[in-house]
Amino acid sequence: MSTPIPLVDLRREYARIRSEIDESVARVLRQGWFVLGEETEAFEEAWAVYCGTSHAIGVGNGSDAIQLTLWAAGIGPGDEVILPALTSAFTALAVAIAGAQPVFVDVDPERTTLDPEAFAAGITPRTAAVVPVHLYGCPAKMAPILEIAQRHGLLVLEDASQAHGARYEGSQVGSLGKVAAFSFYPSTNLGAYGDAGAVTTDDSALAEKLRALRHGGQHPAVVPASPGATWAETLGTSSRMDDIQAAILGTKLRHLSAWNKRRRSVASRYQAGLRSTGSLALPPTPEDAELAPHRYLVRASLRDKMREYLAGAGIDSGMHSIRGVAFGEAYASLGYKPGSCPNAERIAAQAVLLPVFPQISSAEVDKIVRLIRIFLAIH
């Protein structure tokens, strides 16, 4: 029996950089400081430089990155936040936990990211922010989104959790809006070996608020020096990046550009092999962006049968929720019905996510392409 091909394989990744990772973890253990220490500061500085921003603030996870940013910006109860109907459930969850109301709008049918026209149509007097999501490593169409947001005085908070290292019109995602949220969940393009997240921004005042909010409302500069004493400036939460994860992320950051180059090569191999099939919709290759593929998304009318066929051959694949997060029971009270966001619904119902992790071999990619072509030929 052939070796299974997973959707993501962190064991292969670790095997290739094991000595670097082991040394980074050992360094933290030798230092004996595990939360908001030197490793976190070093990674924050490196991540800010990589993204082209003045600040990076490490937090516990990607959802907290969104939630705390909304709090820091004074957005909460009574406010609306626009986001695409096709996104992770955690994007909307963070908005809801911050106390604001998620407003779901449709996506561009080709790009699968926030449709600027739908965004403009969804603005009301209560709208305070927009969260363009760079889905599966494809940057949203930011130029018109930024123009619309500026015209209406709205905060632009990028959700770049699936697009570490992607570029839009030459600039890194994470530096395009006023502020951006990243997840470093293990399966992301730059993943921790646990959970972690970060916020990037050029706004120094917002960055200082975030540093306090993540640490129970305390700011290190004003915490009394006596052991065990605290000094809370405001109500915050506990969402601190730990130094072991920061050290791992700093180590992996050195490989990110090469890994993204390999991801693009894998995506190109899929594109070349599946281009002539006709019955599959393939991901876009926008001229205004450099992708950082997180998954390779194809759209098939026989989505479930294709996934079953691939699984039978030992190939793992992913899918989006049937209609998109807007139609989940958690948001039933918002009143979204089938047909509210037709592009997002159609894409979600047809999406098949194929592995594109950097350590996948060309032979494995060719096998997946060959099996998909066989499936399409017999269906």
Q: What is the pLDDT of residues 137-186, one digit of tens each?
A: 999 999 999 999 999 999 999 999 999 999 999 999 999 999 999 999 99
pLDDT band at 233 (very low <50, low <70, confident <90, very high): low
pLDDT in tens, 111-135: 999 999 999 999 999 999 999 999 9
Tokens linked to 348: 């979600």
The mean pLDDT value of the chain amounts to 93
Residue 220: per-residue pLDDT: 59
> What is the spatial distance between Cα 232 and Cα 242, in angstroms, rounded to a whole number?
20
| Cα–Cα dist 251/253, whole Å | 5
- From the CA atom positions of the chain, what is the Rg in Å? 21
What average pLDDT score do residues 309-335 get? 79
- Closest alpha carbon to 95 in 339, 326, 348, 337: 326
| Mean of pLDDT values over 40-65 | 98
Whether 215 contacts 195, CB under 8 Å: no
Residue 68 CA to residue 245 CA, distance in Å, equals: 20
DSSP-derived secondary structure letter, 299: E
- Separation CA 63–CA 267 (nearest Å): 28
Of the candidates 245, 178, 239, the residue with the CA atom closest to the CA atom of residue 205: 178
Mean pLDDT of 182-191: 98
What's the pLDDT score for residue 363? 97
The β-bridge relationship of strands 167-168 and 289-290 is antiparallel
Closest to 188 in 3D by CA, of 379, 38, 374, 10 = 10
222 pLDDT exceeds 60? Answer: no
Instruction: Select the more confidently predicted residue: 335 or 91.
Output: 91
Give the residue with greater pLDDT, 33 vs 324.
33
With a pLDDT cut of 90, the percent of the chain lying above it is 84
Element spanning 103, H or E: strand 101-105
Q: Please give the pLDDT value at position 277.
A: 82
Residue in the structure block whose two tokens are 């958690």? 330
Residue 221: per-residue pLDDT = 45
The DSSP 8-state label assigned to residue 175 in this structure reads S
Domains of the chain: 10-251 (3.40.640.10), 256-378 (3.90.1150.10)
Adjacent-strand bridge partners of 57: 199
pLDDT of residue 34: 92
- Contact by Cβ (8 Å): 73, 156: no
Write out pLDDT tens, residues 274-311: 998 878 999 989 999 999 999 999 999 999 999 999 99
Rounded mean pLDDT of 93-100? Answer: 96
Q: What is d(CA 105, CA 70) in angstroms, rounded to the nearest whole number? A: 19
The pLDDT value recorded for residue 374 is: 96
Asked if residues 127 and 105 have their Cβ atoms less than 8 Å apart, the reply is: no
pLDDT, residue 322, reads 53
What's the pLDDT score for residue 226?
A: 47
Q: What percent of the chain has pLDDT over 70?
A: 93
Q: Residue 189: how many CB atoms within 10 A of its CB?
A: 25
Report the alpha-carbon distance of residue 83 to residue 15 in Å, rounded.
38
Under the banding of pLDDT at 50, 70 and 90, the label for residue 257 is: very high
β strands within 22-85, DSSP E:
55-59, 80-84
**Which helix (H) or strand (E) covers residue 180, if one does?**
strand 179-183
What pTM was computed for the model? 0.93
How far apart (Å, rounded) are the C-alpha atoms in residues 46 and 298? 34
Structure letter (DSSP) for residue 112: -
Q: Tokens standing for 51?
A: 């993204």
Beta bridge partners of 353: 297, 318
Task: Give the closest residue to 267 by CA, choosing from 358, 346, 350.
Answer: 358
